[in-house]
A and B are shown apart, each in its own frame.
Chain A
Amino acid sequence: MSAVKPILQAKGLLKRYGTVVAMSGADFELYPGEILGVIGDNGAGKSTLIKALSGAVIPDHGSIELDGREVHFRGPEDARNLGIETVYQNLALSPALTIADNMFLGREWRKPGILGSVFRQMDRPRMEKFARDKLSELGLTTIQNIHQAVESLSGGQRQGVAVARAAAFGSKVVILDEPTAALGVKESRRVLELIRDVRDRGIPIILISHNMPHVFEVCDRVHIHRLGRRLCVIDPKQHSMSDAVAYMTGAKLPEGVTEAA
């Protein structure tokens, strides 16, 4: 591992919400071309860690490095401009806007020529075709109309839109926070396939999930988060799911780790 430099790295992240400590010295490494699972009990600080990496939360202390260079995100748009794309648990979709508008929110394509440069007109047909293609790739064929507002979609379909958006635009890192929580069997399977596809394109993925079979199936390494920091990183081929659950709940300590917390 030491020969390969991590693409995304965090050291000693600390974040307090008032008196509540959400992260206390969390470390994190993501290596090129891998799928890293992040698991942990409720309230372990997984979401805060992920939000710090995606720019939605600014940590009080600690550093984040992308490609070996230190970065300071002032907001999600900064992380996104550097190629970090995230699916949040609450999906971050605007219900009243259409599917295509949502997928392109904040990075709309403009029409070529004077219509786009002077009149700033969006290229709706091209955006809609792209959205349709991406949804079909995900197997979301139950979405009948690409002009539909997102509020008229089911929970699973909405999640599909959010995942399709991240997969389509992530160029450095894709972060998925519970991407299969609201999905059906078929769509979950597609999301797992999509995760592998994205990895095969050379883009590393961070997968946060409570679904152990999914995590153990697709992940190359599993980061176990406990009490606001990283407890250990395990190889899913060497450990069983019940080990992992024991580690994250504190029932058992992984080898070579002493309970610091």
Chain B
Amino acid sequence: MSTQDTPTKVISDFEAGLAKADSTVANFDRDDKSFIHIMRNFLRTYPTMIPALVLVISIAVFSIIAPRFFGMGALSTVLKQVTVTGFIALAQTLIILTAGIDLSVGAILVLSSLIMGNLAVMSGLPALLAVGIGVFFGALMGALNGILVARVKLPPFIVTLGTLSIFSALTLWYSKSESIRNVDIEAKAPELLWFGQSANFGGASLSLGGLTLFLLAAVLWYVLNHTAWGRHVHAIGDDPDSAMLSGIRVNSVLISVYVVAGLICGFAAWIAIGRVGSVSPIAFSTVNLASITAVVIGGTSLFGGRGSIIGSVLGAFIVGVFNTGLSLAGVDDYWQMFAAGTLVIIAVALDQWLRRASQ
């Protein structure tokens, strides 16, 4: 530093050497040649490869244990089983990316499906109009969650825990605790069962719902990675204050995320009616936790900002493969739950290990 009394107006001597500074972009020799390092770097660059690898390996292992498993028949069964969970997992991924959690997704699904069923079968509305109204109410329930989270500033866990009970209670009141039978739907509103139809491809029967799942996943992947809105969703989950200072309208983006999640759940209600064939107020009680399981196994961080849509679909499939595989191998049901639990813990441990490698 120059003298204290006179204002400094010259470049200090110690900075004089800067003119000769190197200006090429830095380059280093890579010393990460060991297999572990290469794997770790590869997985860090492509985190979705983890659930993909787990899925491939588990299919291979189950094919050895239970030879009946490897074949298009069993795999298309898995797809049918995970379709609804997959849709809900897509909605859940959006919420978890913003560092939130949605415990009410299952309740939104069931209430929407009852609205569709009741309006179409009992009230005799055109089925497609009933579907539209059901999806609209799904979005409305999502909007309620979103407004409570963004405007009233309540933690998402508390908000959706509350709305889970509220929506479930409304479901029982609205349905008078009665189911809508398959025969009635077939007679009065067969359009509700559209997504249950299957197309056969050489032994595999691919349901329309399953195809739609892949389609929606692709759309969401595109939106999250290639549009500004998708970037904003990541930024908000990462650090809401920074996102606000960067000029993102955090509240409106948050509300829009919950609305889209509600919309997906409402749409999934249509898929679910097609899958099950009937509408029941007590169906899909496990889909909440199953969706969170799928998202976590798929590598999305519960702390927000990081994760992938593809991972969540793969996560749903991994759980489905384990369940089908274990039952084909003649293992009791409770071990399927055991396996799902173990998978979640391993998935998060792996995520932490990779994260440490980046520090």
Q: Do A and B bind each other?
A: yes
Q: Which of B1-9, B82-90, B126-134 contacts A (4 or more CB under 8 A)?
A: B1-9
Interface-centre pick from B11, B14, B229, B246 (highest chain A CB count, 10 A): B246
Contact B244 A213, beta carbon cutoff 8 Å: no
User: Quick one: given A92-B241, A92-B246, A105-B246, are A240 and B5 in contact (CB under 8 Å)?
Assistant: yes
Give the distance in Å from the alpha carbon of A96 to the alpha carbon of B44 in the complex: 12
User: Quick one: given A185-B14, A185-B15, are A94 and B247 in contact (CB under 8 Å)?
Assistant: no
Q: Is the interface of B mostly helix, strand, loop or mixed?
A: loop
Nearest Cβ on chain B to A72's Cβ, whole angstroms: 16
Contact A121 B226, beta carbon cutoff 8 Å: yes
Give the distance in Å from the alpha carbon of A120 to the alpha carbon of B246 in the complex: 20
Interface-centre pick from A86, A152, A185, A242 (highest chain B CB count, 10 A): A185
Contact B18 A95, beta carbon cutoff 8 Å: no
Give the distance in Å from the alpha carbon of A239 to the alpha carbon of B232 in the complex: 46
Nearest Cβ on chain A to B354's Cβ, whole angstroms: 13
User: Does A106 lie at the interface of the complex (its beta carbon under 8 Å from any beta carbon of B)?
Assistant: yes
Contacts of A120 in B (CB 8 A): 226-229
- Which residues of B in the span 21-64 have a Cβ within 8 Å of any Cβ on A? 21-27
User: Quick one: given A94-B239, A94-B246, are A122 and B228 in contact (CB under 8 Å)?
Assistant: yes
Contacts of A141 in B (CB 8 A): 22-26
Name which residue of chain B comes closest to A135, CB basis.
Answer: B25
Contacts of B8 in A (CB 8 A): 213, 216-217, 241
Contact A77 B26, beta carbon cutoff 8 Å: no
Complex A-B: 24 CB contacts under 8 Å: A75-B244, A75-B247, A76-B244, A91-B242, A92-B241, A93-B242, A97-B234, A97-B235, A105-B235, A120-B226, A120-B227, A121-B227, A122-B226, A141-B25, A142-B25, A142-B26, A151-B358, A189-B11, A189-B15, A240-B5, A240-B6, A241-B4, A241-B7, A242-B4
Chain B residues engaging chain A, CB cutoff 8 angstroms: 1-2, 4-9, 11-12, 14-15, 18, 21-27, 222, 226-229, 231-232, 234-235, 238-239, 241-249, 305-306, 358
Q: A92-B242, A217-B9 are in contact. List 9 more A-B contacts (CB 8 A).
A: A88-B245, A96-B238, A97-B234, A105-B243, A120-B227, A121-B226, A144-B26, A186-B18, A186-B21
Chain A residues engaging chain B, CB cutoff 8 angstroms: 56, 75-77, 80, 86, 88, 90-97, 101-102, 105-108, 110, 119-122, 124, 139, 141-144, 151-152, 185-186, 189, 213, 216-217, 236-237, 239-242
List 4 A-B pairs, minimum CB-CB distance, nearest first.
A92-B245, A106-B247, A108-B228, A77-B247
